[in-house]
Structure formats: structure tokens, C-alpha cells
Amino acid sequence: MNKAIWIVDDDHAILEVTRIVLEEEGYKVATVMSEEGLNKMLKTGKPDLFLLDILLSGSDGRDIAKKLKGNKKTGHIPIVMMSADIRTLEKCGQTLVDDCIRKPFDIYDLIGKIKKLT
């Protein structure tokens, strides 16, 4: 069974490129551009890993990560945070995420992090 990855990012280009690459690696990928969209998706299932942007329009990915990690239904699911912000590693340290990556990222680095966690 293929592992499912949900990508949460408000940049359509990042969503599309990352989706294509991860699907080529054999993952089932779903994309969403907002916290609201993520909450709707969570009503129908859950992924094996969240790939979550820190800076979303109208939401802070760190807050979303804290909610996910604090929920008994999603707390066990690994989260990889991503951001173009130079202080990404510092911001990732403020959450309970499993790993983080800075945009623009090397796709092989991203795949390695995901494989390690799934």
C-alpha cells in the first residue's frame, strides 16, 4: 500500500511540483492551500505524513502543527515543516514537528526526509 502525504502550502507551484515528484516516488499525494481545507480533509481520513508550510495566507503553520500534534487522532503522524524564511530551523524548533526543510529545497533532500519518517 502506498503511503499518503498531504501537502499544505499556499503556493500553487510548490504544491504542483512537489506533488508530481512525490507521486513519481510512489506516494499518494493530496494537496490543500489552507487550514480550512486541511480540516475538511481530516474529516474524511488522515495521511501517513504532513508536509506543512510555516507561512500560510491567514494561518501560521506552527499553530497548525501544534493542533495536529495535540490531537489524539493525528498526534502520531509525522510533520515536515517547510519555509523560505531564513529562520526556518529556529521556527521549527518552536513546534513539535519531526523535521523541517528550507525552501527552495533540494528534492532529493526532501525525499530522504520523507522516506525516513514514513
Identify the pLDDT of residue 112.
94
Residue-wise pLDDT for 74-118, tens only, equals 999 999 998 887 666 666 766 688 998 888 888 899 999 999 999
Q: What is the DSSP letter of 62?
A: H
What DSSP state is assigned to residue 3? P
Cβ burial 75-90 (10 Å sphere, 16+ → b, else e): eebbbbbbbeeeebee
Say if CB 6 and CB 39 are below 8 A apart. Answer: no
Which residues have a Cβ under 8 Å from the Cβ of 34 and sit 6 or more positions away?
8, 10, 56, 57, 58, 59
Predicted TM-score (pTM) of the model is 0.91
Domains and CATH numbers, the chain: 4-117 (3.40.50.2300)
pLDDT tens for residues 5-60? 999 999 999 999 999 999 999 999 999 999 999 999 999 999 999 999 988 888 88
